[in-house]
Amino acid sequence: MSALNGKRKEYLTVKDLQKVLDSCKLNLNQIDEVLPNIYIGNVAVAQNKAALQKLADDSTHFDLDVYFQPAADFIHKALKTPDGKVLVHCIMGMSRSSTLVLAYLMIYRHLPLKQALKKLIQKRAIYPNRNFLALLLDLDLQLTRKNKTCQIL
């Protein structure tokens, strides 16, 4: 019986993901570069043309998941252009915007959700709401199943 317990697959929960997020010791800033040329910020930065120009010159029941693929595609395409940079923003710059960047990391960088979370919290204090975390868990499961199917073929 103990051999079965050792081989049992451990599934992530929203609570597990919140523990990872709670480990972030960073202060929330108006804008942060979370990956090379990918920024997460709040609405004040998004409405500040001078701040956006400086960036360019510096070489709870919302179905956000319908935007995962289009946002990831947009980020990916923008980063492929010469000197491409992307600002992903929402009002507070910590839930919707970070959720879309996490989806990008999972879809295009092939990172599991927990690893993507750890990567982002090294650069910015983020806190996707429970609903968004659940949607990301679903995406994580879909991508894991897809990868397993591709490996079998």
Find the catalytic residue in 24, 31, 90, 106: 90
Residue 76: CB atoms within 10 Å = 15
Is the pTM above the cut of 0.85?
no
**Structure confidence by residue, pLDDT tens digits, 56-94:** 654 467 889 999 999 999 999 999 999 999 999 998 899
**Structure confidence by residue, pLDDT tens digits, 6-33:** 556 688 999 999 999 999 999 999 999 9
Residue 124 backbone dihedrals phi, psi, to 5 degrees: -155, 145
Answer yes or no: 90 catalytic. yes
Which superfamily, per CATH, for 26-142? Protein tyrosine phosphatase superfamily (3.90.190.10)
Pairwise CA distance, residues 62 & 102, whole Å: 16
Tokens read off for 114: 């927990």
Bridge partners of 88, per DSSP, are: 40
What average pLDDT does range 88-111 have in this prediction?
95
Give the residue from 105, 54, 114, 117 showing the smallest Cα distance to 76.
105
Give residue limits of the domains in the chain: 26-142
